[in-house]
Amino acid sequence: MDTDEVMTLLQNVADEVINPRFRSLTAGEIHEKNPGDLVTVADREAEVLITRVLNAVYPDAVVLGEEAYAGDPALMGRYLAADHAFTVDPVDGTKNFVHGSADHAVMVAETRGGQTVRSWIWQPQHGLGYAAELGGGCYRNGVRVSRETPTALTDPAELRGRTSKRSWIGASLDGLSPMTLTWVSCGIDYPKLVEGEADYILYRGAAPWDHAPGSLMLAEVGGFVGTVGGRAYQPRDNDTGGLIPAASQAAYDVVLRSLRASRLLEADRHAVPSD
């Protein structure tokens, strides 16, 4: 499937099983996988439809769906070992979706040899589709996206930081301004970062279906995603202790130094990842 065909797939699936449930979910269509971790009938049906098509077109690829993984944790091992794979997040931002917020998205990423080579984010309520190809740029509704990157950081306090971890909202990393809340969906967060509405985001988790799609888009506009351990993020990373997507590698380096000096992670080392 070419890049446009995959985007059309996500749009069609959203029209079929996600949009009709938006602000129309019944109590019986919402469940908890774990306390506070919601899943809806829309998540499950969308993932089945997307996975079915990807399996038919790419029978040798491993498809790692968020909901499939919840039912079969061994799927992660097959994904990590696969030369060709896809990640599928059928409704990223499920809590937003459940609560009637338009800030949710359908996300897919394609990896080869452990590297993301194509990715897609469809925001059905906003009518925005983002697609990226390795070395080919990032596009929003067919128009190439670019952003100014803060390569010359004369005043790090001007960096605009966000976090999805609510206990970190308002926290000031050493020398940086207090962090504010993200849009609580990686399928919204990464495009906002790509388009310049933030300079960095601090995440606690690193699930591939959350970060593989947006990380390629960010890289294609000159950004950088690194772990809190100091190395570049790879889509096979799923237990890094945290990620820092940033507008540039220089911005990432500044945030990482400030994070280490703040000792925020040490204070949080016994907490359960919440993003």
pLDDT of residue 239: 75
pLDDT for residue 50 is more than 70: yes
* Pair 223, 245: CB distance under 8 Å: yes
Query: Which residues are CB-contacts of 15 (< 8 A; sequence separation ≥ 6)?
Result: 124
Cβ-Cβ contacts under 8 Å for 222 (sequence gap 6 or more):
147, 149, 247, 248
CA dihedral 129, 215, 180, 247 (to 10 degrees): -100
DSSP 155-173: -GGG--EEES-GGGTT---
Tell me the pLDDT tens digit for each residue of 67-83: 999 999 999 999 999 99
**Is residue 275 predicted with pLDDT exceeding 70?**
no
- Amino acid identity of residue 38, one-letter, is L
Instruction: Give the pLDDT score at 269.
Output: 65
pLDDT tens for 81-92 read 999 999 999 999
pLDDT at 274: 39
* Other Cβ atoms within 10 Å of 257 Cβ, number: 16
Q: Which residue has the higher pLDDT, 105 or 238?
A: 105
Report the pLDDT value the prediction gives residue 153, as an integer from 0 to 100: 67
Q: Give dist(CA 214, CA 120) in Å, integer.
A: 8
Share of the chain above pLDDT 90, in %: 83
- 66 alpha-carbon distance from chain centroid: 12
Q: What percent of the chain has pLDDT over 70?
A: 95
pLDDT of 266 over the 50 cut:
yes
Q: What is the pLDDT of residues 145-181, one digit of tens each?
A: 998 765 556 788 889 999 999 999 999 899 899 999 9
Q: What pLDDT score was predicted for residue 272? A: 41
Two tokens, residue 25: 């979910």
What's the whole-model pTM score? 0.93
Please tell me whether residue 190 adopts helix, strand or coil conformation. helix
Q: Do residues 136 and 21 lie in contact, with contact meaning Cβ atoms separated by under 8 Å?
A: no
The DSSP H or E segment spanning 62 is strand 62-65
Task: Give the helix/strand (H/E) hosting 68.
Answer: helix 66-71
- Give the pLDDT of residue 273: 41
The whole-number pLDDT of residue 263 equals: 87
Q: Mean pLDDT across the chain, nearest whole number?
A: 93
- Of the two residues 37 and 218, the one the predictor is more confident about is 218
Q: How far is CA 195 from CA 137, 222, 232, in A?
A: 13, 11, 21
